């Protein structure tokens, strides 16, 4: 009974904070035309306290999206362009000798910001990727003898170009797993593209003002963490994740030959966290199966390993997820 | 002429006759010539070589090669193959006959291959005899003795006929028939003992409407919400409706969310009138199932009633003539029933 009251209170609390979501969404939509899924995913990751791996061809407003979000929440934003000659110190920072003070001083790297755009993360060698991913995971950086906590909220949006694979360093599965979501974005439609042209050739581009403070994000995260997940939903999440590991048990024996390895327990955690954040965006204090399905592709696609057979037949992780969702009974 | 002179003349004449005969015989013998040659005079034991015979003779002379034993030239040299004679015209009324004999020896030693005999009428012509040396296989007595490979069973193809006794193999179909008859008899006996009918009854699938109505009535009788089990009550209602929609409209409703079911049925003309009812049930059910909401008793009753209405309103309509046919045939099972007027 107390749980019932809590959910009602939570619903009221969320209703009170609904302005938060509509403000940011409206602000984003003023600058970013189309790409509603990207905007929604960014907000989901921000509320679920995770990081995003973004895949899409150049010119799809990836940089603009994260920069706009940073401006809207009045957060510090940095962009790191990953190149083959980048060093870990270029990301996290290093010790620099100060002639004036006659001692080594810490020079903080671009990772010290709220929102980071790690552009073309697969262009840098593994050691640089590791440095970034470690900072993402630990939320702290060690330079010399000193350890520095990264400021909250902290969100990294890393991008990958799916077309140019020449001279790249693909992220290992263990590293990719650390991203809460992998979002794939596509081209806008004709109407949206027309609007993009108008917006970009306008004499005065739309100004973006800070609408929310970073502290509010942290407050909202506390509410998100209270959103109720019923045992039925937990079972649904586990069924979906287990279907990637033991497809025969879920009556999907055909998938066995195309899945090299299934999603990790981190996938279950991510699915639950994202479903909660998504429920918040929809103004609910509890998670329903729709929330799970809405974030399922983004949280699972980078956690399912495909076999050579699947790659040879152009079968994608998204198709596997669709098959699983069509098979697992909804509670 | 003295006696000695007469004797001398006779002797000389006899000598001349003998010489003439000898020359004539020599001339005849010179017309057939038999020669033999070995491809290899030394072979390793077990190996083979060819003995080539060449006979040169006048045309029209009939002769034949004599082999004492068609399988061996000597007790130690086996004759493996004998080629057909190959005749070549040499001109000047002469021909050449070639024969190739493939030979093999398994014991080491030096063997004399006897002269080949070619018989023409009463005359026998011989080739020269040859010697064949058979060399033993060198064995390194200091080397390790290697293990022998097992017999590969796969190398020997399995033939059922080799394994079956003749009395089964020869009368195989009679045996099969007998086994089938015995198995059938045992099956009938077991069914008879268990009191089962000889022909299994056809499993009749309950039509979706009947199944849903029966399940809803059972749910009502179970009095779940009255006993504080609202979650189980709404879970059962949604399960009944999902299964009904799945079977009735062939929509994958069991694996769909509430929103997806409503969106899918929105396009369906048959459910247009009751879509609102369904949406209300699913919304309340989601609240109960996933937000621990406890609706009022009236709401619980209303949800059941809405579910019943949905099933009733979407019941399939059967054409009257089809209905009559079914009434005439009482055994006929159908999934469809006429809608009450």
DSSP B157-199: ---HHHHS-HHHHTTHHHHHHHHHHHHHHHHHHHHHHHT--SS
Please indicate whether residue B171 or residue A297 has the higher confidence score (pLDDT). Answer: A297
| Topology of the domain covering B31-137 | Immunoglobulin-like (2.60.40)
Looking at chain B, the whole-number percentage of residues with pLDDT higher than 90 is: 22
Prior bond to B77 cis, omega within 30? no
Contact call for residues A82 and A123 (beta carbons, < 8 A): yes
More confident residue, A174 or B119: B119
**Mean pLDDT computed over B226-248:** 92
The residue among A228, A230, A222 whose CA lies nearest residue A279 is: A228
Strands A181-184 and A77-81: unpaired
Alpha carbon of B270: minimum distance to chain A alpha carbons (Å) = 24
**B28: pLDDT strictly greater than 60:** no
8 Å CB contact of A330 and B235: no
How high is the pLDDT of residue A164? 66
Length of chain B: 341
The alpha helices in chain A, defined as continuous H runs, are 2-16, 18-31, 36-48, 62-72, 88-92, 126-138, 173-176, 190-201, 214-224, 231-245, 265-281, 289-300, 308-312, 317-327
pLDDT value, residue A32: 82
pLDDT confidence tier of residue B320, bands split at 50, 70 and 90: low
pLDDT tier, B217 (very low <50, low <70, confident <90, very high otherwise): very high
Q: Using pLDDT thresholds of 50, 70 and 90, give the confidence band for residue B145.
A: low
Q: In whole angstroms, what is the distance from residue B116 CA to residue B124 CA? A: 10
* Chain segment A142-193, per-residue pLDDT in tens: 888 888 888 888 999 998 877 666 777 888 887 888 899 999 888 888 888 8
- Alpha-carbon gap, residue B234 to B295, rounded angstroms: 10
The answer to whether A293 contacts B292, with C-beta atoms less than 8 Å apart, is no
Confidence of residue B20 (pLDDT cuts 50, 70, 90): low
Q: Determine, for residues B255 and A4 on separate chains, whether the beta-carbon distance falls below 8 Å.
A: no
Cβ neighbours around B290 below 10 Å, total: 24
Q: Picking from A18-32, B10-24, B255-269, which range would have the lowest pLDDT averaged per residue? A: B10-24
B263 touches chain A (CB under 8 A): no
Q: Residue B333: pLDDT band by 50, 70, 90 thresholds? A: very low
Residue A48, token pair as written in the block: 């679920």
Using 70 as the pLDDT threshold, list the residues of chain A that sit under it.
1-5, 163-165
**B123 token code pair:** 């005359």
What are the pLDDT digits (tens) for A105-129? 888 889 999 989 988 888 888 888 8
Residue B335 pLDDT grade (very low, low, confident, very high; cuts 50, 70, 90): very low
DSSP string computed for B32-72:
-EEEEEES-SEEETT-EEEEEEEEEEETT---EEE-S-SSE
Q: Would you state the structure tokens that stand for residue A29, as one six-digit string? A: 């939509």
Q: In the prediction, which pLDDT does B341 show?
A: 33
Q: Under an 8 A CB cutoff, do B292 and A4 touch?
A: yes
Return the number of other C-beta atoms located less than 10 Å from residue B43's C-beta: 18
> Quick one: residue A30, left, alpha or beta (phi over 0 = left, psi -120 to 50 = alpha)?
alpha
> How confident is the model at residue B175, as a pLDDT?
92
Q: Distance (Å, rounded) from C-alpha A28 to C-alpha A90? A: 30
The span from the CA of B294 to the CA of A78, in Å, is: 49
- Per-residue confidence band for B83, with pLDDT thresholds at 50, 70 and 90: confident
| Residues B79, B48: Cα–Cα separation, whole Å | 10
User: Does ipTM surpass 0.90 in this model?
Assistant: no
Collapsing DSSP to helix, strand or coil, B50 comes out as strand
Chain A contacts to B (CB-CB under 8 A)? 3-4, 7, 228, 230, 232-233, 284-290, 293, 325-331
Taking only residues 111 to 140 of chain B, the set having a beta carbon closer than 8 angstroms to any beta carbon of chain A reads none
Interface test with B, best of A230, A288, A296 (most B CBs within 10 A): A288
Which residue in B has a C-alpha nearest to residue A2's C-alpha? Answer: B292
pLDDT-derived band of residue B31, with 50, 70 and 90 as boundaries?
Answer: confident
B293 in reach of chain A (CB within 8 A): yes
**pLDDT class of B340 with cuts at 50, 70, 90:** very low
Smallest Cβ–Cβ distance between B290 and the set A286, A327, A329 belongs to: A286
Instruction: Indicate yes or no: CB of A327 within 8 angstroms of CB of B235.
Output: no
* Separation between Cα atoms, residue A76 and residue A151, nearest integer Å: 10
Chosen from B291, B295, B296 to mutate, greatest number of chain A CBs within 10 A = B291
Q: In chain B, which residues have their Cβ closer than 8 Å to the Cβ of A327?
A: 255
Q: Does B314 touch chain A (CB under 8 A)?
A: no
Predicted TM-score (pTM) of the model is 0.65
Chosen for mutation from A252, A278, A329, A330 (greatest number of chain B CBs closer than 10 Å) is A330
Chain centroid offset of residue A206 CA: 26
CB contact under 8 A, A290 and B252: no
The answer to whether the CB atoms of B257 and A330 lie below 8 A apart is: yes
C-alpha to C-alpha distance for B250 and B204, rounded to whole angstroms:
19
**Beta partners for B123?**
B120
Predicted confidence at residue B337, as pLDDT, reads: 44
With CB atoms and an 8 Å threshold, state whether B254 touches A293. no
Average the pLDDT over B300-320 and give the result.
86
**Count H helices, E strands: chain A?**
14, 11
Q: Confirm or reject contact between B291 and chain A (CB < 8 A).
A: yes
């Amino acid at each position: 009974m107390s749980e019932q009251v809590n959910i009602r209170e939570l619903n009221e609390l969320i209703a009170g904070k609904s302005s938060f979501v509509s403000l940011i969404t409206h602000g984003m939509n003023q600058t970013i035309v189309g790409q509603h899924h990207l905007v929604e995913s960014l907000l989901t990751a921000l509320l679920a306290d995770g990081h995003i791996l973004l895949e899409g061809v150049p010119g799809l407003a990836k940089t603009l999206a994260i920069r706009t979000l940073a401006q809207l929440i009045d957060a510090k934003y940095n962009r790191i362009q990953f190149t083959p000659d980048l060093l870990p110190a270029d990301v996290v920072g290093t010790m620099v000798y100060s002639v004036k003070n006659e001692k080594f001083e810490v020079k903080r790297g671009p990772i010290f910001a709220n929102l980071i755009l790690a552009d073309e993360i697969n262009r840098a060698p593994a050691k640089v990727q590791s440095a970034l991913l470690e900072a993402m995971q630990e939320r702290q950086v060690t330079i010399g003898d000193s350890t520095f906590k990264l400021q909250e909220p902290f969100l990294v949006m890393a991008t990958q170009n799916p077309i140019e694979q020449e001279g790249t360093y693909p992220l290992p599965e263990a590293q990719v797993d650390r991203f809460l979501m992998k979002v794939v974005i596509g081209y806008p439609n004709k109407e949206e593209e027309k609007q993009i042209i108008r917006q970009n050739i306008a004499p005065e581009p739309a100004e973006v003002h800070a609408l929310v403070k970073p502290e509010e994000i942290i407050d909202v995260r506390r509410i998100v963490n209270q959103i109720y997940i019923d045992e039925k939903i937990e079972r649904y999440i586990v069924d979906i994740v287990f279907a990637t590991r033991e497809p025969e048990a879920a009556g999907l024996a055909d998938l066995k030959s195309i899945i090299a390895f299934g999603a990790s327990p981190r996938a279950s955690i991510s699915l639950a966290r994202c479903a909660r954040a998504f429920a918040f965006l929809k103004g609910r204090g509890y998670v329903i199966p729709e929330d799970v399905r809405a974030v399922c592709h983004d949280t699972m696609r980078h956690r399912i390993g495909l076999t050579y057979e699947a790659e040879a037949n152009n079968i994608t992780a998204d198709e596997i997820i669709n098959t699983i969702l069509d098979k697992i009974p909804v509670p | 002429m003295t006696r000695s002179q007469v004797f001398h003349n006779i002797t000389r004449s006899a000598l001349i006759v003998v010489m003439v005969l000898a020359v004539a015989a020599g001339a005849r013998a010179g017309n057939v010539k038999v020669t033999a040659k070995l491809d290899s005079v030394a072979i390793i034991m077990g190996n083979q070589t060819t003995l080539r015979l060449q006979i040169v003779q006048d045309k029209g002379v009939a002769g034949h090669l004599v082999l004492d034993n068609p399988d061996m030239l000597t007790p130690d040299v086996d004759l493996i193959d004998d080629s057909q004679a190959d005749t070549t015209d040499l001109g000047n009324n002469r021909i050449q006959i070639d024969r190739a004999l493939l030979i093999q020896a398994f014991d080491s030693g030096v063997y004399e291959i006897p002269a080949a005999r070619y018989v023409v009428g009463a005359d026998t012509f011989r080739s020269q005899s040859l010697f064949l040396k058979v060399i033993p296989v060198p064995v390194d007595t200091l080397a390790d003795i290697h293990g022998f490979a097992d017999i590969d069973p796969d190398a020997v193809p399995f033939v059922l006929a080799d394994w079956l006794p003749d009395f089964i193999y020869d009368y195989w179909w009679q045996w099969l028939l007998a086994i089938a008859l015995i198995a059938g008899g045992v099956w009938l006996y077991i069914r008879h003992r268990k009191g089962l009918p000889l022909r299994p009854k056809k499993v009749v699938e309950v039509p979706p409407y009947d199944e849903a109505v029966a399940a809803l009535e059972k749910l009502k009788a179970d009095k779940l919400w009255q006993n504080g089990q609202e979650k189980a009550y709404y879970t059962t209602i949604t399960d009944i409706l999902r299964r009904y929609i799945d079977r009735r409209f062939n929509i994958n409703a069991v694996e769909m969310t509430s929103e997806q079911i409503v969106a899918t049925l929105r396009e369906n003309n048959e459910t247009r009138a009751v879509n609102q009812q369904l949406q209300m049930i699913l919304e309340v059910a989601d609240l109960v199932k996933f937000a621990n909401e406890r609706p009022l008793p009236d709401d619980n009753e209303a949800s059941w009633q809405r579910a019943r209405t949905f099933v009733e309103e979407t019941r399939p309509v059967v054409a009257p003539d089809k209905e009559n046919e079914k009434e005439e045939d009482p055994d006929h099972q159908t999934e469809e029933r006429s809608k009450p007027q």
